[in-house]
A and B are shown apart, each in its own frame.
Chain A
């Protein structure tokens, strides 16, 4: 798709053709859609969450469809940072768009170590720290809930990573605004939200939880109003740029997040239904700008806040 200067942005140092990001965990390491979808349709691609050591992931079933939603319990299956450096990093240039590495750890030390390694990886434009994955027992969500811990964690990563640092928030934290402020004081450059919401489905025939992991993370249109509300709240609490996500499937959905205060938006689950969703949302945003006679989409950021 043609680059439209009205959609281009510099997101705290990430130079993006448009404000759309492929959400972590929904786009592999960027290559799975390559035979069919031009990765340059995206402003940036967030890679599958990575850990220091390889992780096998959770036992199947890992997916359950819910009304307008998807419950997943992948369990951060990933080949580990060494494999990433050896086998994936050399290919990232093929994507032709900025790449965001998403990391998860079980201790502050693990996050710090991962970030220090990625600081030396030129192919990675930004690091997103996932403090909110609902599908791993240790780490993940427990980090995301307590403001003091979040500030300490973000501070530790900040000291070793010089590029744009994104902190991904969860709504499982009782007070998401407090956690957002903690991430800001810790030294985050950008906040992204929301991660999936913890849920479960029970199979009434087997009388057992449907997912192998018992619980999973809910994504898709079902969580969109909750996610818009979260962006609205966090935009009022911090001055950092936000990446909004949760159920975005159309330009109108993306606009809701932007109007609530997001500078960029990420799209996850909708890729599974519409692989050309990035291109379509960009076209929709262009049409909206045409209709409104606007020079740049950024005029819309937070515009609903009055």
Chain B
């Protein structure tokens, strides 16, 4: 029996740069991954020994199908990501994927609103870039600690859009949280058709409240510790509401993007 798809990819690292403090942008030659959809992720090894043992899930940050290239945006947050940050162009990275179900309805005409907290912008950037290319309307709200901890504005402008930004110290855009921008935006008369969000849990909790109150459909990309990445180990389970009951769903296979109504966040 011939398997339909490749799961394992050794990808040449073409370029690597630190585009914000602790955020490393990887450009990889990956023709078979370049057809991935926004919201999908790859599962990558951070070294070649048994320690660290597990792969790390990282969103596809951008894919250029024509050039056969993908980008990953990795924030150093522990041992594995620190090891990754030490790799250099010319090396090969060991990736599995693409895995998971991405953001739905990205090709609909109604305006979309993306809400990104910190590194949560990695998959949303890809979704926004896709709508930009298709000439579909969207807005992008971005929140971060401080300007130095976010990619420069040109990074977004190169892809044809400018995010509405909030930083906790006011060094870029509004002083405050991304959700304050969202609240303001949802108070306006012309509401977006749909919200897609990714970011830290406190932000997502507030986004769920605001979207519910405004009656705008919401899709959230969730994080969870993973082992297999394909649905086999049940290690990445998160509780979701299914017909009034709470059941566990796999972030890697049933997500990482979940319906805002189903997730057990907020009330």
Contact = CB atoms under 8 A, between A and B. Distances in A.
Given A59-B239, A65-B225, A70-B54, 14 more contacts: A28-B231, A35-B4, A63-B225, A63-B235, A64-B225, A68-B51, A72-B233, A72-B235, A74-B233, A74-B235, A220-B50, A275-B8, A275-B96, A276-B8
B52 interface: yes
B3 A60 contact: no
B234 A273 contact: no
Interface stretch (A36-44, A114-122, A297-305): A36-44
Interface in A65-81: 65-70, 72, 74, 77
A74 B233 CA distance: 8
Contacts of A57: 234, 237, 248
A26 B233 contact: yes
A271 interface: yes
B5 A72 contact: no
B14 interface: no
B55 interface: yes
A158 interface: no
Contacts of A48: 234
Interface in B1-56: 1, 3-8, 45, 50-55
A61 B1 CA distance: 37
A201 to B, nearest CB: 11
Contacts of B229: 272
A154 to B, nearest CB: 27
Interface in B243-267: 246-248, 253
Interface in A240-258: 249
B238 interface: yes
Closest 9 CB pairs of A and B: A36-B7, A32-B232, A28-B232, A63-B235, A68-B50, A32-B231, A272-B227, A63-B225, A272-B228
A33 interface: yes
Interface of B: 1, 3-8, 45, 50-55, 96, 224-239, 246-248, 253
Main secondary structure of the interface of B (DSSP, over half): loop
B78 to A, nearest CB: 10
Interface in A267-286: 269, 271-276
A216 B178 CA distance: 37
A269 B53 contact: yes
B3 A38 contact: yes
B50 A60 contact: no
A104 to B, nearest CB: 14
A56 B248 contact: yes
13 contacts: A35-B3, A56-B247, A60-B224, A65-B52, A65-B53, A66-B53, A70-B227, A271-B228, A272-B227, A272-B228, A273-B45, A275-B8, A275-B230
Contact of B238 (A28, A60, A269, A271): A60
A147 interface: no
Interface residues of A, number: 40
Contacts of B234: 25, 28, 48, 57, 62, 74, 77
A48 B234 CA distance: 10
B53 A69 contact: yes
Given A26-B232, A28-B232, A65-B53, A275 B7 contact: yes
Nearest to B230: A32
A221 interface: yes
Contacts of A111: none
A288 B232 CA distance: 30
A273 B225 contact: no
A276 B10 CA distance: 14
Contacts of A35: 3-5, 7
B235 A62 contact: yes
A37 B232 contact: no
B53 A68 contact: yes
Nearest to B235: A63
A225 interface: no
A143 interface: no
Nearest to B225: A63
Contacts of A276: 7-8
Contacts of B55: 272-273
Contacts of B246: 56
A27 interface: yes
B96 A63 contact: no
Contacts of A295: none
Contacts of A271: 228, 232
A48 B228 CA distance: 14
A37 to B, nearest CB: 7
A65 B225 CA distance: 9
A96 interface: yes
B228 A32 contact: yes
A276 B227 CA distance: 15
A60 B237 contact: yes
